[in-house]
Structure 1
Amino acid sequence: MIEFGVFGGGSWATALVKILTDNKITVNWYLRRAKQANAIQETGSNPDYLNFVHLDTQYIRCSSDKQTVARKSPVILFAVPSGQLANLLEDFDAAWINGKIVLNSIKGTVGDQHEIPSAFISTQLGIPEKLQGILAGPCHAEEIGHRKKTYLTVAAPDVEVQQLLRGCFVSDYIEVRLANDIAGIEYAAIYKNVVGLVCGMAKGLHYGDNFLAVLVANALQELKDVLQQMGRSSELLNSSYAGDLLVTAYSAHSRNRSFGEMIGRGYSVDKAKGAMQMVAEGYRATRGLYQLTKELPCQLPILQTAYRVLFKYMPVLTEFKLLEQKLK
């Protein structure tokens, strides 16, 4: 039976480990902190994230040694926040994973060049295109933890890799959709976090559902424009693209929505960041996507609103009054 090497100890990584171990797949799980690794191995529960989820420890091998996890595992899965990926790979030897499938489920830009995760990993570790893949939503880790019906997307250029990965994740509560547009789905995953953040701002400012519907409809058009300008798929109306945006915009589970709501209620950016117990990827995603798209010949007022509030420290209500006039 195939084994996975999972790198990441947060709620999303925990949810993915649950899916794999529910399917009786052995997971070699890298956790940076030995205390967390020991607790999971001893109790079958992650004490820091999704601690209500029971994990079958007979299929889990926790370790704080990157090399051990990487060498043991035919499939490597990176599931860390985008801001941690560069540090994770800093002393990561490409020889450890030579010839292995490398899957990432990271939703944000990486490094000073604001690269999408698949491109950054490929550059750092020299992964051939046919061995690359991504795992995307639409979903929230909390609902996977409760075994609620969920649809995942596996994107990979190689059809055999797609089918192998699908077989590892599909279950009675998980459906898996297959795709080959790695970069397009990654851009959509990055942008949806920005949208979730802006929807949270709207809620914090006491805008209602009527406004939110217009905001999300405009966000879908912005995403379509970005994907077209990037030369990616414009087939937006499926779960791999629009689905992830919608669940982040509307769900109470969305960290980005919660972060944005605090901003809308008057928290400073720094105070809101300090109040979050988990990473809100939309903060970094806003800056990264803004830098990637600022020269594109398309109008992106929702992204620009998020950027001006978060990084230019403009008053959120003032920016939303301007945004009202730009929505269609």
Structure 2
Amino acid sequence: MIQPARITVVGGGSWATALIKILSEGNNHIRWWLRSSHDAAHIKQFHHNPSYLSDVQINPRKVRVCTKIKDALRDSEHIILAVPAAFVSDALQGIKPENLAEKHLISAIKGMIPGRNQLVTDWVEEEYRVPADRIAVIAGPCHAEEVALEKQSYLTIASQNLAFATAFAQLLNGRFVQTTPLDDIYGVEYSAVMKNIIALACGITHGLGYGDNFQAVLVSNAMQEIRRFVDTVYPMLRDLSASAYLGDLLVTAYSPFSRNRTFGHLIGRGYSVQSAQMEMNMIAEGYYAVKSIHEINRQHEVDMPIMEMVYSILYEKTSPALATNALKSLLK
């Protein structure tokens, strides 16, 4: 008899809640760490997250809720990180490399470590000495809101260790989720980071009143930017038209569920960064990621005018209208 997988999900937001729902479909023992003691107590009593995706019912026979991170990690084989990149270090506060020995780390974070300009997987490997063949990422295209509604969804699991990616993908496969393993962990992770920046650009231009024609050109040019950057920083043979790359970009750039697109839309309408963040009450990973990508690209000097437009608006306070107008002549 196959033993149930022991999995910990770190994070209390919408994507963490969606992953809990997906994992609960299978034969898994799940621990769920949340920072908020209020939300944890509510879930234990009422079996749903009061703050995110509150319609998702949590199965108490399969899911054990924790607020102490060491308790959450102790007996698990697989640790899924599903908190914003800016807060992952705080979430793992007090955790040492020995606490993660022999465990697999899976990043469901589509951002970079601010200030260090590191992918989450590189940070985990360096900070906690987790071997690369025990690290993976979860990529889309997949919105948490559609998982909650059990709409057909697709996930890609990427790792340098394809056997691990394949085995973990099976844990997520289910009634309404289909998974694909890949060995291009860096291409998938960088693409996931960069598609959030493109979604910001789409939101900004939509907020300024640009239409579908312009957005189609914007997204197709953005895909070329992603290709140039990813092929420069981590060259290998890859098909960027696959769903983990192009599909994830499209769903984030066009969907009303996209928090990055929503954030950009507010900026395009004239909101300041601070007021847009307060309006959303959620983290838009692209805001932090564009600064990291901008700084990394100082070394590589890849031509990325869309990325630079977003950076100039968010960090140099360039007028969105002026920045977009300057970009128009560069698109083809």
Residues 39-73 of structure 1: per-residue CA shift (max 9 Å, x gap):
11211110011111112121110011111111121
- Tell me the distance in 1 between the aligned counterparts of 2:277 and 2:92: 25
TM-score, length-scaled by structure 2: 0.96
Question: Contact conserved, 1:183 with 1:232, CA < 8 A, in 2?
Answer: no
Residues 233-284 of structure 1: per-residue CA shift (max 9 Å, x gap):
4421101111111110000100000000011111112111111121111100
Aligned pairs for 1:312-323 within 5 A: 312-323=316-327
TM-score, length-scaled by structure 1: 0.97
Instruction: Give the match for residue 239 of structure 2.
Output: 235
Residues 209-239 of structure 1: per-residue CA shift (max 9 Å, x gap):
0001100010000000001111234421101
User: Residue 305 of structure 1 is aligned with which of 286, 304, 309?
Assistant: 309
AA in 2 matched with 1:135: I
Q: Is the aligned partner of 1:184 residue 2:165?
A: no
- Tell me the distance in 2 between the aligned counterparts of 1:40 and 1:89: 21
Question: How big is the shift at 1:208?
Answer: 0.6
Q: Is the aligned partner of 1:161 residue 2:178?
A: no
- Tell me the distance in 2 between the aligned counterparts of 1:228 and 1:292: 14
Q: Is the aligned partner of 1:7 residue 2:10?
A: yes
- Tell me the distance in 2 between the aligned counterparts of 1:44 and 1:35: 13
Aligned-pair RMSD on alpha carbons? 1.1
Aligned pairs for 1:242-253 within 5 A: 242-253=246-257
AA in 1 matched with 2:142: C
Question: Contact conserved, 2:7 with 2:79, CA < 8 A, in 1?
Answer: yes
Question: How big is the shift at 1:76?
Answer: 0.8
Q: Is the aligned partner of 1:50 residue 2:57?
A: no
Question: How big is the shift at 1:327?
Answer: 0.7
AA in 2 matched with 1:50: L
* Corresponding residue SS for 2:28: coil
AA in 2 matched with 1:20: L
AA in 1 matched with 2:150: R
* Corresponding residue SS for 1:326: coil
Q: Is the aligned partner of 1:199 residue 2:202?
A: yes
* Corresponding residue SS for 1:32: coil
Question: Contact conserved, 1:104 with 1:135, CA < 8 A, in 2?
Answer: yes
Question: How big is the shift at 1:161?
Answer: 1.3
Which is further off, 268-277 or 216-225?
A: 268-277
* Corresponding residue SS for 2:265: helix
Instruction: Give the match for residue 141 of structure 1.
Output: 144
Query: 1:12/1:232 Cα in 2 relative to 1: closer, same or farther (>3 Å)?
Result: farther
Instruction: Give the match for residue 268 of structure 2.
Output: 264
* Corresponding residue SS for 1:305: helix
Paired positions, count: 328
Structure 2: give runs of 5+ residues left out of the alignment.
none
Question: How big is the shift at 1:193?
Answer: 0.3
Structure 1: give runs of 5+ residues left out of the alignment.
none
User: Residue 255 of structure 1 is aligned with which of 253, 259, 268?
Assistant: 259
* Corresponding residue SS for 2:318: coil
Which is further off, 180-189 or 230-239?
A: 230-239
AA in 1 matched with 2:115: D
* Corresponding residue SS for 2:303: coil
Instruction: Give the match for residue 59 of structure 1.
Output: 62
AA in 1 matched with 2:311: Y
AA in 2 matched with 1:56: N
Which is further off, 270-279 or 228-237?
A: 228-237
Question: How big is the shift at 1:317?
Answer: 0.2
User: Residue 151 of structure 1 is aligned with which of 136, 150, 154?
Assistant: 154
> How many percent identity over aligned positions?
35
- Tell me the distance in 2 between the aligned counterparts of 1:310 and 1:93: 35
Instruction: Give the match for residue 97 of structure 1.
Output: 100
Runs of 4+ in 1 over 6 A off after TM superposition: none
- Tell me the distance in 1 between the aligned counterparts of 2:231 and 2:135: 23
Instruction: Give the match for residue 218 of structure 2.
Output: 215
Aligned pairs for 1:104-119 within 5 A: 104-119=107-122
- Tell me the distance in 1 between the aligned counterparts of 2:272 and 2:38: 33
Question: Contact conserved, 2:111 with 2:120, CA < 8 A, in 1?
Answer: yes
- Tell me the distance in 1 between the aligned counterparts of 2:196 and 2:273: 16
Instruction: Give the match for residue 289 of structure 1.
Output: 293
* Corresponding residue SS for 2:113: coil
- Tell me the distance in 2 between the aligned counterparts of 1:86 and 1:97: 14
